[in-house]
């Protein structure tokens, strides 16, 4: 049977996940992610799609992270008419994440115009909140482990353990007695996370597309409790602020869970925790709604005081004015705000305010892609540019890798070991080149045939 697979993104980089699969006269788009990072990457979001969006028959999503779905509003804006299939929890998360992504785009464009630092004049948003709402109307929810028939395709979403609702996609294409089985790993989670369950073992694939974010790297066996108590002690002694750039969905709940546990064990005092994100309230609510999809014992009827996703003094900050008031707030206090890689959002204002003061700590709890401000700070930048202004970095910069939502090198190999025989071809994607090559080296050692595709590269059935 004939098929064609084209890599539109997450090839040579970790963002912009998007793959075009053609077979039996039908075209599926797997993920439709936003490119994030430096200007060069961001510019890719403005490039035309390699085909008319109206020619795509269906979109299948692995999960709700913006680097996997953040270009959907643009796809719809450019003429996509079909359904967008995703798990129930992914649909619920997209309801808050896509309009937020649009809002950030609009804000950035407006701010750039006000300050006059954009390369375009006037700066335009990639898409608007209205575009995002239109995209949401195309969503159709699917259940985990229940095959969906789409003409000659059968698609099954399997839990990936990476984010609430996240899935590994099994796509079987059939044509006259012959079929070909594609497996898209999406982003794979960890085996021993506190909140998410481990990724589903997949046994067979003819063509495998696997992520390699952490290829060649191993998550430090950070003692989460030790790191958190250390930075908290630091800011308590100095009356500083612990600033945690964290994505409102997933990472924020993880951080809250661990702080709450330390409080319950009496290991840290109850200091105020500010969740400066209008989305985080909705996100925590969604975690309670989909209690079966993760390990925590939570539900919608639960009293906040016993909910493991709330700390003793948790304040959710929704409006902009309250957020600004946090700038002048004295420590000790904890502020969580997005975005997690410091690429935009309210965290920028907090960084501008807190970085110059050595009493404060900025704690990174997630992956920081190349070219992002988060990566520069982690690499020891002495000054950063925020909203066109030079900001000196005097705060202590710390990191905690154990909260990663991504499988590390050994965990990727552990997942691959679940296959009873090697796929005909394994495409290694969603990694910076060094990471993809590191995973490739280990996988090929086991005799597998692998390819690290380039962006826009197209492969056909032999």
Size of site (CB under 5 A) for Zn ion: 2
**Nearest residue (CB) to Zn ion, 310 versus 430:** 430
- CA atoms of 46 and 126, how far apart (whole Å): 7
CB of 28 to Zn ion, least distance (A): 20
Residue 255 parent element (H or E)? helix 251-264
Q: How far is residue 46's CA from residue 74's CA, in Å, rounded to a whole number?
A: 9
Region of 34-42, 64-72, 119-127, 338-346 interacting with Zn ion (CB under 5 A): 64-72
- Of 187 and 276, which CB lies nearer to Zn ion in the complex structure? 187
User: Minimum CB separation from Zn ion for residue 245, in Å?
Assistant: 16
Q: Rounded CA gap, 120 and 48, in Å?
A: 18
* Window 392 to 411, contacts with Zn ion (CB under 5 A): none
| Residue with smaller CB distance to Zn ion, 132 or 407 | 407
Closest CB to Zn ion among residues 45, 166: 166
Strands 207-211 and 178-184: parallel
What is the smallest separation between the CB atom of 405 and Zn ion, expressed in angstroms?
A: 7
Smallest gap from residue 14 Cβ to Zn ion (A): 9
Instruction: State the nearest-atom distance from the C-beta of 213 to Zn ion, in Å.
Output: 8
Whichever of 249 and 361 has its CB closer to Zn ion, that residue is 249
Question: Which of these, 166, 188, 179, lies nearest to 207 by C-alpha position?
Answer: 179
Q: Measured from the CB of residue 202, what is the shortest distance to Zn ion in angstroms?
A: 18
| Choices 44-52, 59-67, 376-384, 430-438 (CB under 5 A): range interacting with Zn ion | 59-67
Of 24-32, 47-55, 186-194, 293-301, which part binds Zn ion (CB under 5 A)?
186-194
Yes or no: say if 329 and 294 are a contact pair by the CB < 8 Å rule: no
Quickly count: other Cβ atoms within 10 Å of residue 455's Cβ: 17
Query: What's the min distance (Å) between Cβ of 293 and Zn ion?
Result: 15
Phi-psi region of 320 (alpha: psi -120 to 50; beta: other; left: phi over 0): alpha
CA distances from 342 to 110, 347, 370, 394, 403 (A): 18, 6, 12, 17, 17
Can residue 211 be called a binding residue for Zn ion (CB under 5 A)? no
Quick note: the x/- pattern for Zn ion over 139-178, rule CB under 5 A, is ----------------------------------------
Specify whether the CB–CB gap between 363 and 327 falls below 8 A.
no
Dihedral Cα 9, 444, 160, 16, nearest 10 deg: -10
Cβ-based nearer residue to Zn ion, 97 or 307: 97
131 interacts with Zn ion by CB under 5 A: no
Q: How far is the CB of 68 from Zn ion (least distance, A)?
A: 6
The answer to whether 65 contacts Zn ion (rule: CB under 5 A) is yes
Smallest distance, Å, CB 161 to Zn ion? 11
Question: For 31, left (φ over 0), alpha (ψ -120 to 50), or beta?
Answer: left
* Listed ranges 46-54, 62-70, 237-245, 257-265: which one lies at the site for Zn ion (CB under 5 A): 62-70
Q: Which stretch binds Zn ion (CB under 5 A): 57-65, 79-87, 264-272, 385-393?
A: 57-65
Instruction: Return the number of the residue (65 or 294) whose C-beta is nearest Zn ion.
Output: 65
Report, in Å, the least distance between residue 155 CB and Zn ion: 19
293 or 351: whose CB is closer to Zn ion?
293
Q: How far is the CB of 339 from Zn ion (least distance, A)?
A: 13
Q: How far is CA 113 from CA 106, 107, 120, 127, 440, in A?
A: 11, 10, 9, 16, 44
Q: Are the C-beta atoms of 331 and 239 separated by less than 8 Å?
A: yes
Question: Does the CA dihedral 373-42-108-129 come out positive or negative?
Answer: negative
How many residues does the structure list for the chain?
462
Using the contact rule CB under 5 A, the part of the chain among 30-38, 101-109, 185-193, 385-393 near Zn ion is 185-193
Helix residue spans in 116-239 (DSSP H): 129-136, 224-238
Taking the least distance from each CB to Zn ion, the nearer of 85 and 214 is 214
Are 157 and 145 contacting, i.e. CB atoms less than 8 angstroms apart? yes
Among 31, 108, 170, 187, interactor with Zn ion by CB under 5 A: 187
- Binding region for Zn ion (CB under 5 A) out of 180-188, 269-277, 396-404, 440-448: 180-188
Residue nearest to Zn ion (CB): 65
E strand intervals along 103-206: 139-142, 148-150, 153-159, 167-175, 178-184
Q: At its nearest, how many Å lie between Zn ion and the CB of residue 272?
A: 30
Burial call 88-102: b when 16+ CB within 10 Å, e when fewer: bbbbbbbbbbbbbbb
Whichever of 166 and 277 has its CB closer to Zn ion, that residue is 166
* Nearer CB in complex with Zn ion: 21/249: 249
3-state secondary structure 282-321: HHHHHHHHCHHHECCCCCCCCCCCCCCCCCCCEEECCCHH
Closer residue to Zn ion, CB minimum distance, 108 or 187: 187
Footprint of Zn ion on this chain (CB under 5 A)?
65, 187
């Amino acid at each position: 049977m004939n098929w064609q697979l084209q890599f539109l993104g997450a090839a040579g980089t970790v963002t912009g996940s998007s793959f075009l699969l053609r077979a039996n006269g039908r075209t599926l788009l797997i993920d439709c992610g936003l490119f994030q990072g430096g200007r060069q990457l961001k510019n890719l979001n403005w490039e035309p799609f390699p085909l008319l969006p109206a020619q795509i028959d269906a979109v299948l999503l692995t999960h709700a992270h913006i680097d996997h779905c953040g270009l959907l509003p643009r796809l719809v804006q450019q003429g996509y008419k079909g359904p967008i299939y995703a798990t129930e929890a992914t649909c619920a998360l997209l309801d808050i994440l896509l309009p937020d992504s649009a809002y950030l785009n609009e804000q950035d464009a407006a701010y750039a115009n006000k300050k006059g630092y954009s390369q375009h004049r006037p700066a335009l948003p990639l898409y608007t909140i209205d575009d995002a709402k239109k995209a949401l109307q195309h969503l159709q929810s699917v259940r985990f482990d229940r095959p969906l028939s789409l003409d000659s395709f059968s698609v099954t979403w399997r839990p990936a353990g990476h984010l609430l609702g996240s899935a590994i996609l099994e796509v079987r294409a059939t044509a006259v007695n012959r079929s070909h089985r594609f497996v898209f790993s999406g982003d794979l989670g960890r085996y021993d996370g506190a909140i998410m369950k481990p990724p589903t073992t997949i046994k067979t694939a003819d063509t495998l597309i696997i992520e390699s974010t952490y290829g060649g790297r191993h998550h430090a066996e950070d003692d989460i409790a030790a790191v958190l108590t250390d930075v908290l002690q630091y800011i308590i002694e100095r009356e500083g602020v612990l600033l945690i750039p964290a994505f409102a969905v997933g990472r924020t709940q993880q951080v809250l869970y661990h702080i709450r546990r330390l409080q319950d064990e009496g290991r840290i005092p109850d200091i105020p925790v500010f969740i400066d994100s209008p989305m985080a309230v909705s996100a925590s609510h969604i975690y309670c709604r989909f209690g079966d999809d993760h390990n925590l014992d939570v539900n919608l009827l639960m009293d906040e005081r016993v909910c493991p996703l709330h700390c003793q003094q948790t304040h959710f900050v929704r409006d902009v004015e309250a957020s600004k008031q946090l700038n002048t707030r004295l420590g000790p206090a904890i502020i969580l705000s997005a975005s997690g890689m410091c690429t935009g959002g309210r965290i920028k204002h907090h960084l501008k305010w807190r970085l110059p003061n050595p009493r404060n700590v900025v704690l990174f709890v997630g992956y920081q892609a190349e070219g992002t401000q988060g990566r520069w700070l982690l690499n020891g930048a002495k000054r950063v540019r925020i909203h066109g202004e030079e900001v000196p970095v005097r705060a202590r910069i710390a990191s905690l890798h154990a909260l990663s939502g991504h499988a590390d090198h050994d965990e990727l190999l552990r997942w691959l070991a679940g296959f009873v025989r090697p796929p005909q071809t394994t495409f290694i994607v969603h990694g910076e080149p060094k990471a993809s090559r590191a995973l490739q080296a280990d996988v090929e050692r086991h005799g597998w045939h692998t390819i690290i595709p380039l962006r826009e590269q197209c492969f056909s059935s032999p």
